Amino acid sequence: MATIVSRSKWHTVNSFKRHTALEVHNPKGGEDKISNLHDSILLHILSYLPTRDVVGTCILSTRWKNLWTCVENINFDDSFLYSSRVFGCTMKVTSFMHFVHRFLQLQEESDIKKFRLSCRVCFSASHVCSWLSTVIRHNVQDLDLCLFVEEPFMLPQCVFSSKTLTSLKLEMNCVLELPTSTCFPFLRTLHLCLVTFRDDSSTQRLLSSCPMLRELAILDCEWMNLKQVAISISSLKSLIIDDLPFFGSTDDLNGCKIKIDAANLTFLKYSGYLSNEICLYNLSPLVNASIHIPILYEKRNQIAFRAIKLFRGLHKISAARISSRAIESLFIADIEKDRLPIFYNLTHLELSMELENHSIGPLKELLQCLPTLQSLHFSEGLDPCMHLCEGDWNLRSVPPCFLSSLKTVKYSNFHGNDTEISFLRNLLEIALVLEKLNIVCSKRPFGDLKKQKEVEDQLQSRHRGSVSCAIKFM
């Protein structure tokens, strides 16, 4: 412990010397300005530092000697133990465990607002459980755990019955073992990352124990043990499911059925191969959805059916951010296109990936289903390797939104090449009520102001559907 605290002290002192904004002494008059600040301000500054550096401030002056014991935000991270400059790993781990244990002992009766712990459990499973039990007793509100596990591990039961937790973030590469009873009466944020769900009943018990939950994120988790689970939380505002597999086979689509019933949801993000079947119910028109579905060609029909089912549940939404791959999955040749609903409320659409030649056809089909679209954003522009002829964007049947509602088009990542110019000229010709075309140039400038004027002239030279449309380079 002494070794770590000593190193932390010198690290902190050097940091204060290096950064003039945090200098303890004024170089002109020698006045200690930082120490004259109110305790609440100093504690707020300390809350952004790793806990070992917070403790190191105790050597600065008498004023700082015991201030660190009042910090409400605690952050322990053992990653520095495994850097190439540190030797004697076992001894250092022991020192780290003693340091954490002693620090928590010195908290006495004070409450802990936020506790973050990132460590390897294999060296200290019993200690980790003891630390968590301690912070729960200190009425912790925000618990952030990143635990590297090499054998079965179960969090202490008190974590799952806390009456003070408002945020729980759990990253743990093992099976999530849950007690027979879980209750989070005031939990508002729940993030689960890398965990493997054990079975339907325990997972359902966890998701049903958070009556005030507003934000749920399930990231890179393993659903393989589940058959069906329901996310039915009336208070839920934000739901993120990142289901892109990093382990195992990407062609295994025998996942579970996830039923989502959240009438007050305002943000939904899904990324994945639809290895699990997503069923949406009672979504509000206020939902802003972000969807990315990569295509596995050998499973494309199965993915297409699930994608269409997912989008049918989104038919009331007002705004969406969709990848070109997700759009392609909706219009697989073997699938009947009339299965896709009409999105009468969708007024804002952002395309989150570069458009490629094989994306143009599906995009045309999707636009036919958006009769009230007002804003269209090509956030990544066109694929630089794309070759678009003058007639490729011509539509046999112009989408209704191009005739009556599309007011704004934003094209980002513009390089000024012939393909992009041809694309935008075609768009300007068929968009009859367009008011704004905003062009955001790429980070690599495509030319000077003279070149920009030439591009603008080329866009203006052809007949336009809306003569009042303003073209703006940004």
* pLDDT in 10s for each residue of the chain, 474 residues: 333 333 443 343 344 333 433 444 445 555 566 666 666 676 666 666 666 666 566 545 565 655 566 667 888 887 766 654 544 455 567 777 877 887 787 776 778 899 999 888 776 788 899 999 999 999 999 999 999 887 788 999 999 999 999 999 999 999 999 999 999 999 999 999 999 999 999 999 999 999 999 999 999 999 989 999 999 999 999 999 998 764 545 555 678 999 999 999 999 999 998 989 999 999 999 999 999 998 777 778 888 889 999 999 999 999 999 999 999 888 875 666 557 899 999 999 999 988 888 888 889 889 999 999 999 999 998 887 777 655 555 555 788 999 999 999 999 998 888 888 888 888 888 899 999 999 988 866 555 677 777 777 777 766 777 878 888 888
- The angle formed by the CA atoms of residues 372, 378 and 382, to the nearest 5 degrees, is 135
CA dist 191 and 165 (Å) reads 13
Region for 458 from its dihedrals, namely left if φ exceeds 0, alpha if ψ lies in -120 to 50, beta otherwise: alpha
CA dist 14 and 19 (Å) reads 9
CA dist 257 and 264 (Å) reads 21
Which residue type does 341 have?
P
CA dist 200 and 85 (Å) reads 45
pTM: 0.82
CA dist 129 and 202 (Å) reads 21
